[in-house]
């Protein structure tokens, strides 16, 4: 019953937002653009030329993320915990962008996407446990459930030192950047690529 009580106001808010003039104006502008699309000069670039430039800013942001400086997963340290949560959100964005363009990238990018997914899942499980634990403490004294959630958080980030080491090493960072090149077998790849 509680979930149903929350859904109704959320549904009302969503319908209200959909009726706002801003959304209607956006839809109208998109319809006009579809009737007579206009492009910038960069639209003439080949896919092979554009893909690395599209992905490099996002990947650079990931590599420069301050959370890589966190040597060990923090316990109750709020600033370090917040840094790891920001890293998770950044990884998610990078992963989605790379997944969209993966069909034209070198095949090795698939392994990196799997690693990003594992990192995102581990950081998510760790963060979820960090949110849940204080609530459990308020509900009941620490017990078996509390211990299980704590153990899950620790286990989720057990591989963190190895992941972190890879992302701070210059050679590994260079390999990641190399994954952003277009596959030589892709029709848009420059001649002599590979």
Identify the pLDDT of residue 19. 75
- Check residue 192 and give its pLDDT: 47
Look at residue 194 in the predicted model and tell me its pLDDT. Answer: 43
Mean pLDDT (the chain) is: 84
Contact status, residue 48 vs residue 190, Cβ threshold 8 Å:
yes
Judged against a pLDDT cut of 50, whether residue 101 lies above it is answered with: yes
45: number of Cβ within 10 Å: 14
- pLDDT at position 120 is 95
As a whole number of angstroms, the distance between CA 32 and CA 34 comes to: 5
């Amino acid at each position: 019953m509680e979930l149903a009580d929350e859904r109704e106001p959320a549904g009302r808010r969503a319908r209200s937002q959909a009726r706002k003039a801003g959304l209607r104006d956006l839809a109208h502008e998109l319809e006009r653009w579809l009737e007579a699309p206009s492009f910038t000069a960069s639209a003439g670039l080949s896919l092979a030329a554009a893909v690395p430039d599209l992905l490099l800013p996002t990947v650079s942001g990931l590599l420069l993320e301050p959370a890589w400086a966190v040597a060990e997963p923090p316990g109750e340290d709020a600033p370090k915990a917040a840094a790891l949560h920001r890293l998770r959100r950044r990884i998610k964005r990078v992963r989605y962008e790379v997944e969209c363009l993966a069909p034209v990238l070198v095949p090795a990018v698939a392994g990196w996407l799997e690693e990003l997914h594992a990192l995102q899942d581990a950081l998510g499980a760790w963060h979820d446990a960090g949110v849940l634990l204080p609530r459990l403490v308020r509900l009941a004294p620490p017990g078996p459930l509390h211990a299980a959630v704590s153990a899950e958080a620790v286990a989720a980030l057990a591989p963190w030192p190895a992941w972190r080491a890879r992302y701070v090493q210059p050679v590994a960072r260079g390999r990641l950047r190399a994954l952003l090149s277009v596959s030589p077998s892709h029709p848009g790849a420059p001649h002599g690529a590979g």
